[in-house]
Each structure stands twice: as C-alpha cells, then as structure tokens.
Structure 1
Amino acid sequence: MTHPISGLPGSGQWHGPEDLRILQEKQLRQTVAWAARSPFYRDRLNLAALPTTTAELAGLPLTTKQDLRDNYPFGMLAVPKERLATYHESSGTAGRPTPSYYTAEDWTDLSERFARKWIGISGEDVLLVRTPYALLLTGHLAHAAGLLRGATVVPGDNRSLAMPYARVVRVMHDLGVTLTWSVPTECLIWAAAADAAGHRPGADFPALRALFVGGEPLTSARRRRISRLWGVPVIEEYGSTETGSLAGECPRGRMHLWADRALFEVYDPATGTVREEGEGQLVVTPLFRKAMPLLRYNLEDNVSVSYDDCACGWNLPTIQVLGRAAFGYRTGGATITQHGLEELVFSLPDFYRVMFWRARAEPALLRVEIEVPEEHRTAAEAELTASVRSAFGVDSEVTGLPPGSLIPHDALTNMPDVVKPRGLFGPDEDWGKALLYY
C-alpha cells in the first residue's frame, strides 16, 4: 500500500514486474517534468515532446558522471535554491567528485528507502552510524532513516578524531547499541578493539541485533566471518551519494532493487543497447526526486539484474553488483582481484584468528601479509599459499605478521584528547595548537 504519511509507494502495492511497470510509468511523466526545469535537461530535452513512457525515455542519451561534474555546482538544479535542504558530493574514488542535492521532500524518499531493512528499525533501537558525515550522503542517510523509525541515533562518524575505536566499543557496550551502519572492515576492527578492551564480541554485547554494511566489496567468506564474530546477521545495502539507497537485502540473502522508487535499466557499453535484465552497467532514473532529477543516470557499476521470483515475496528485481569485484592486477598469467583473494583469506579456519591482511600483485609473484598469532603462523602461511596456487595458478609469498602489525594496538585502545582552538596559553603549554587543534 501507499505509505500513509509520505504518499510514496509502499510494499504490497505491486505483485510482479507488470505492476511495477504500471507504477513506474504513472510517475515517470512527473519525473520528466521536474527534470525539464533544470538547466542541464532544459537544453537536452525537447520541451514540446517530453517522454511519457519508458519506451520514449529510452530514446534519451544517458546522463553520465562527467555530466554532473561539468555542471558543478548547480547546473542540475530543478528547484529554487532556497528549497534545498542539503548539498553533498561523492567520495571521488572514480575521479573528480560529483555534486548532489536534495529537498526536504527528497529526504522523505531517501530515508524510507534506507529504512527498508528486513530486520526492521524501531523506537526500541539504538543505531550507531559509523560512516562519514562530511559531504557524503551515507552517514546522513542512516541518521535520517533511524530518526524516521524512532530509533536513538548515535552519530559515530568514522572520520572524526572525537570517535576513536576504543570509544566506539565503549559506546556499543554501555549504550546497548542494537544496530550499526558501517563499511564491513569496521566490524572487524571493532572486534579487535573489543578484545583489546577485555570484551568478547559475540558475548558481551547482548543488545546487538544486526550489522548494516555497505560501501565496499563484501565476499561471502568475510560476511560469514563477521557474522560469527558478533553472533548477528550482516545485512548489506547498495546505493550512492547521487541516488541514495538503490537496493537492500531480503531475509533470503538476495539484494533487491527498489524498483517502486526508481526505474532501472542495464546498459551494454560494447553495443550501446539497454534491456531490463542481464549483465551490464546499471542505469537509474529516480522517480521521486525534485531537487536534482536524473534521467537515465549511468552509475558505471557492472551488475547483473534478474526478475526471477524470490522466496522472500518482495516482488522486486534482484541485483548482483559485479563491478566492485572485477578490477584486478596481473600476476603471472592471472588477474588477481581483491574479491577473489579476500574469499581465500577469510576461508582460513576461524581459530587462526586472521582478520587483517594486505597484498601486492607483482608481475611474477603475489605477496600477501596476514596478521596471525605465532602458534598458527606456519599453518596459515602454508594453507593460504596453497589456496592461492589452486585458485589463481600463481606463485605467492605469504608472510604471517604478529597481531598489531597492520592494525596497531594503539589505534584500538587510544583515547586522544579532543581539544578546541584557543588563543591564550600558560608559560609551559604548547601553543602550537592555537588554531590548528588536531
């Protein structure tokens, strides 16, 4: 049914692909009209014959990341500037950051989409938000979704000097944090920090119900390891600063696209063709965005989309994100990917206690370093060397390092002072921090 407050589509309003198409096309005319108000689309669209169906929309050129960069900062703006609620920029991992902005109404849609977690967010929850807040959307998105559902939100920005890992663990333990939002690596570092503080991750945090993660590749082996460490489900999310949440994980472990709130296409760059499903680059048209409408925005993520039925009953297409795992380096005759190597590292037995690793792919040799206690070092080195040979067919040099080599113990236990700028100092004080206080 339609959401009773926002009026946006809600679960149960469709019963399959045909119902979704009807819902999408009903909103598409309004979406295109909003887009036509922006300088960028006003120049691109034929205002006398705006597309009103998905078939007509497919005749438009793709909107690219470069288009957003070229129209920085407000060339994509479709509302008066005084109606904006927030301005954001992407992380810039694929090049110069892209601008993005939202109205208060846009934020209702954003918050509802992120809050669509199968485990649920409620007023009984304490939600730790442990992703960046500055300019990126990710921290603000989880924060807003938590407030929307009545949760107590703990703003634990992972780029703030005021929130070291020792403090994260203290907050999780003492406040009875029930849900967290972070990149997957954070969950492993918290476990190490909890251990350093004398806590057992799977036993001394009884309030914890789930770990929400996104923003970096996550193999099934690492997901299982994190889940076993903490004793709770690890629930993945997919989205971007330019679009907000695009997909979430169902109880069956499959990622579903929010196709009631956005129109999705799969683009084949080799042929220039698009289709509803299959493999290619994900193209998105958000259907309820007013400040910065995007028509056929190419995220440039390689994906596989399917409309096959899922036992969860959500009646939404499923997506596998392939692009984040595909990039690799050549060693010998093989391409080494982080996804493939991570699967091998986290397939080592849990009792080896290997959580942190790094690798360098050289032309003739793959060098891997892992943190591992001395009593398991020889066995872990031998097993990982054999796994690399079996999986990639290349020679490797696996070196076991003492715990604390890759993630220093001080980083897990330090509680640095958080100081404020001041001008007056005593005779024995360091006045070098008078203005730059970090």
Structure 2
Amino acid sequence: MTDTLTARPAIGQWRDYAELAGLQDRRLPYALVAAARSPFYRARLRAGVPEDRAGLLDVPLTTKRDLRDSYPFGLLAVPRARLATYHESSGTSGVPTASYYTADDWHDLAERYARKWVGITADDVFLVRTPYALMITGHLAHAAARRHGATVVPGDNRSLAMPYARVVRVLHDLGVTLTWSLPTETLLWAAAAKAAGYRADRDFPALRALFVGGEPLGTARKARIAELWGVPVVEEYGSTETGSLAGECPHGRLHLWADRALFEVYHPDTGLTSPDGRGQLVVTPLFREAMPLLRYNLEDDVDVSYDACDCGWQLPTVRVLGRSAVGYPVGHGTVTQAAVEELVFALPARYEVTFWRAQAGPDRLRVEIEVPDQHRAAACAQLCGSILSALDVDAQVCGLPPGRLVPHQVLTAQPDVLKPRGLFGADENWDSALLYYR
C-alpha cells in the first residue's frame, strides 16, 4: 500500500491537538477497512464497517483472549506472501499471542522506535540486549538502528552465549554508545562492571544513553540508573502486538504516538472509555497492514494526560504503571511493586542498595535488600520508616550481604557454549553430548 508510506506524518506536521485529531480522522477509515479484511474482524463487523471515530466506539474492545483464540492467523488482513515477520508474545497463559508484520509495517515500526530525543546515527555502536526470539523487541531495535546506519551488537538477553561478564567486556572494549534493554538489566550490568573492577560512570566513556523499556520505571529508579552510569536513561513503551506506542521527549516525559494510533483509556469499573485519565490503555493502530487492531486493550495500567509539555510535540503524555499497579493487601493498606520500588531507590545512593525483594503478608510487608555492612542498620531503619510513612504499612526490613539476592557468580561466570557433539574420545566426558552448554 504505497499510500501508507506517503501519508505517515512526522512530528511537527500539526500545530495543536485539533490538527492532530484531524490527521487521525482522515486516516481512520483506511484502518477500519483494512481490519475488515481479517477473518476475526470480518465476523465482528458483520453488521457493517464503521466509517468514523463515533462508529469505532461502537466496536467491542479487542482483548488478549481474542488474539489467543485467533491463533495463528485469524487476524491476518493481507495475503500470507506479503508477510515479512511472524512473532509471539511470551505466552504466560500457556496459549501464544501471535502478531505479524509486512515490510511496510516494519518501515513504520522502525521509524517510531527511532523517535528518541537522543538520536541514533551511523557513528553509534548499539548493543541490543533484549530477546531476539519470537518477541519483537530485539528485532525492532536492530531494524531501527540499522535504518540509521548504526553498528548493531546483537546481545540477546536470553542466550547462554552472552553472560553478564561478556556484556561488560563488550560495553567496554567495543566502545558501545547506545544500549537497549530492560531497566533491571542496566543495574545488573553496573554490578557486573564493579565485579570486573570497573566503575560504570567512569570506565565506559563512549556510552551516551541507555534506552530502556519492557517494565514500569519509577522516577527514583530511573534517576539511580542515570547516576550509576552517568548518562541519560531514555524510556520506550510498546508491545509485541503493536510495536512502539510511546517515547520520551527531551523533557523526560513519555508521549503516546497519537499520530500513528488512536488511544483510549478503559475504566474496568464502569466499562467505559475516555481520552485521558487513569485506566487500561486501548489502542487502534492507524497504519497497520498485516494485522490491523481495533480498540485493542493492552491491559496495562496507565495515566494519560493532554497537559502541555515544553517539548512542543503536541502529543498526549502517559505514565505507564504496568500490571504491578495491582496491589496486595497488607494490614489496613495496599502495597504495589511500583510504590515499594520508589521507596527503595529513594534511599541515599551512598547506601549502595540496588537489589531488593518483598513479600506481602496479611499484617506486615517483609523486605530484603542487599546492602554493605557499614550501611545496613541505617538503610534498613530508613526504609522501614518510609514504608510506614508513605504506605501506612508495617514492614520488616532485612539487610543482606551483597551477593545474596544476585549471586556474585551470576555477574562473573562465563559458561562454555559448545556446538553439539556426538562422538567423544575414550578420556572425554560425554555427559554433555548434543547439548549447547556444560
């Protein structure tokens, strides 16, 4: 569809939200017609294809269950020969969620991912440290980096061939300038760098930014990661089913790509949607070819706002709370992962608290943190007090020696990764026959 390439807008082509809505309304009919070509939406839209935004709101939400029930190609809207890639989400329910893209879809995917205020250039060495398997994350960053001429280092985080010690070596020896990973990965790299005798904010001078996504990132943890590495932390939000949905502007706010998709906020308590507020994010991509989606509920908890931002992008902002926004009852209060994480990383950096875990009991929250001996009493007392003050929850905070939650061996080991063998000599150990590691 050549018109999709020429019609895709770029940031700056609209002056305000009214013009942005006009761009959406002009593109929406094409997205509705495209969706009706798939078996799933052909059945759902049997009474007729909506023509505009008002008609779209009469279409039921598309759920993750709908995608699972349509596995593998029930949402395919183009001939199979036009597909460029096939993907699946992690499938924690036991049933995979399939998604697929054409070459033109990939043009849009890569362009949206590269919309970062820290640009990607041909001078960059880009370490991609997310899965390269059926999920889209690694392939997406790889495609965007190559489109802009960067050298890609494919450091898949699900591969035995890329332990943390090797990540640190690659970061240092190759002069990596940009990375893409979960936020938690960057903390593990810092710990592995320390174990190797490096200091993250001093011994990796080529590094200029850390791109992160895939899990909620609070203000305090983001600031701690930036302090550890001495570079900006640039957030990204999306999914395997949709690709990039939001990116960070120079003022540190996450903006929804509302020129490429319509967004709604679903309120499960009422069953209604609104343009903004707090609830679950619902997305209708405007330029999707292979697998158009209408009102797809990602089930991610978000807070969407149309407040003005100094960046001038004229795009709605979003705070991604994730499903961790669902809390656990403790005593008379409720505890969420995001709330505890914010308090942990609000501890002074000199306490060197990076790794933690917590367990919600009926009357008390049990928290364990890794902390050096000299800071243990102060860190535990301060965290216990802040949990009570902020969450109105009694807490038992236990300080553990470094290495108890993340073993030192995990940070330093370099396991052998072998090609499979069938034939061994008389003095060789053949217990690892056909395996890729030992």
- Per the normalisation by structure 1, the TM-score is 0.96
**Residue identity in the other structure for 1:91:** S
Maintained 8 Å contact 1:126/1:154 = yes
How many Å separate the matches in 2 of 1:393 and 1:307?
Answer: 32
Measured against aligned partners, the alpha-carbon deviations of 1:61-82 in whole angstroms (never above 9, x if no partner) come to: 1111111011101111111112
Worse-superposed segment, 329-338 or 167-176: 329-338
Alignment of 1:106-145 (within 5 A): 106-145=105-144
The range that moved more, 63-72 or 323-332, is 323-332
d(CA) in 1 for partners of 2:231, 2:204: 10
SS of residue in 2 equivalent to 1:265: strand
Q: Which amino acid aligns with 2:301?
A: N
Map of 2:17 onto structure 1: 17
Using a 3 Å threshold, how does the CA distance of structure 1 residues 430 and 6 change in structure 2: closer, same or farther?
farther
Name the CA distance, whole Å, in 2 between partners of 1:119 and 1:371.
33
- 1:270 deviation in Å? 2.5
What does residue 368 of structure 1 align with? 367
> Deviation of residue 365 (structure 1)?
2.0
Corresponding residue for residue 219 of structure 1: 218
> Which residue is equivalent to 1:159?
158
CA drift at 1:422: 1.4
Aligned residue identity for 1:277: D
Residue 395 of structure 1 and its aligned partner are, at CA, apart by: 2.4
Residues of 1 paired with 2:435 and 2:38: CA distance? 40
Aligned to 1:232: 231
Determine the C-alpha separation between the residues in 2 that align with 1:5 and 1:298. 26
Deviation at 1:184, TM superposition (A): 0.7
What pairs up with 1:30-41 in 2 under 5 angstroms? 30-41=30-41
Q: Give the corresponding residue for 1:410.
A: 409
Matched, 1:26 2:21: no
1:190 matched residue in structure 2: 189
Question: How many Å separate the matches in 1 of 2:157 and 2:322?
Answer: 25
Asked if 1:241 is matched to 2:245, the reply is no
2:4, 2:156 → 1: CA distance?
A: 32
What CA distance in whole angstroms lies between the structure 1 residues aligned with 2:131 and 2:260? Answer: 25
Match of 1:280 in 2: 279
Structure 1 position 308, deviation (Å) = 2.0
In 1, distance between residues paired with 2:335 and 2:167? 34
After superposition, give the CA deviation of every residue in 1:37-58 in whole Å (9 maximum; x if it has no partner). Answer: 11111111147x4222111111
Question: What amino acid does structure 1 have at the position aligned with 2:149?
Answer: G
Return the letter of the residue paired with 1:19. E
Q: Describe the shift of the 1:17–1:94 C-alpha distance in structure 2 as closer, same or farther (beyond 3 A).
A: farther
Gaps of 5+ in 1: none
Q: Tell me by how many angstroms 1:226 deviates.
A: 0.5
State the Cα distance separating 1:95 from its structure 2 match.
6.6
Indicate the SS of the match to 2:363. coil
Report the AA paired with residue 55 of structure 1: A
SS of 2:214's partner is coil
Q: Does 1:266 align with 2:265?
A: yes
Structure 1 residues 435, 327: CA separation in 2 closer, same or farther (over 3 Å shift)?
same
For 1:143 and 1:219, locate their aligned partners in 2 and report how far apart those are by CA, in whole Å.
26
Aligned residue number for residue 64 of structure 1: 63
Query: CA RMSD, aligned part only?
Result: 1.7
351-360 vs 265-274, which moves further? 265-274
Q: Which amino acid aligns with 1:153?
A: V
- Return the alpha-carbon distance in structure 2 between the equivalents of residues 122 and 51 of structure 1: 42
Q: CA deviation at 1:189?
A: 0.6
Q: Which runs of structure 2 are paired with 1:269-308 in the superposition (5 Å)?
A: 269-308=268-307
| Aligned-partner Cα distance in 2 for 1:346–1:93 | 29
Equivalent residue runs for 1:348-363 within 5 Å: 348-363=347-362
Give yes or no for contact 1:25–1:52 (8 Å, CA) kept in 2.
no
Amino acid at match of 1:426: G
Contact 1:216 1:324 in 2 (8 A): no
Alignment-derived partner of residue 42 in structure 1: 42
SS of structure 2 residue aligned to 1:26: helix
Asked if 1:344 corresponds to 2:355, the answer is no
Distance 1:95 1:219, change over 3 A: farther
**Does the 8 Å contact 1:211/1:235 carry over to 2?**
yes
The Cα shift of 1:325 comes to 3.9
Distance 2:371 2:265 in 1: 43
Amino acid at match of 1:37: R
Give 1:396's aligned residue: 395
Q: Following superposition of structure 1 onto structure 2, how do residues 427-438 of structure 1 map, counting pairs within 5 Å?
A: 427-438=426-437
User: Structure 2: any 5+ residue segments left out of the alignment?
Assistant: none
Structure 1 SS opposite 2:179 = strand
Code of the aligned partner of 1:33: V
SS of 1:282 mapped into structure 2:
strand
Task: Report the Cα distance in structure 2 between the residues aligned to 1:209 and 1:94, rounded to whole angstroms.
Answer: 38
Specify the alignment match of 2:90 in structure 1. Answer: 91
Distance in 2 between the 1:336 and 1:5 partners?
46
How far apart are 1:4 and its partner, in Å?
Answer: 12
TM-score by length of 2: 0.96
Determine what percentage of the aligned residue pairs are the same residue: 69
Structure 2 residue identity aligned to 1:36:
A
Q: Secondary structure of 1:433's match?
A: coil
Letter in 1 for 2:14: W
Q: Distance in 2 between matches of 1:243 and 1:170?
A: 33
1:51 maps to 2:50: yes
Per-residue deviation at 1:436? 2.6
Q: 1:378 to 1:235 in 2, by over 3 A?
A: same
CA distance, structure 2, for counterparts of residue 63 and residue 5 of structure 1: 26
Aligned counterparts of 1:4 and 1:52: Cα–Cα separation in 2: 18
Alpha-carbon contact 1:6-1:108 (below 8 Å) kept: no
| Comparing 72-81 and 382-391, the one that deviates more | 382-391
Map of 2:326 onto structure 1: 327
Q: Is the 8 A contact 2:216 2:322 kept in 1?
A: no
Looking at structure 1, the residues matched to 6 and 155 of structure 2 have their Cα atoms a distance apart, in angstroms, of 28
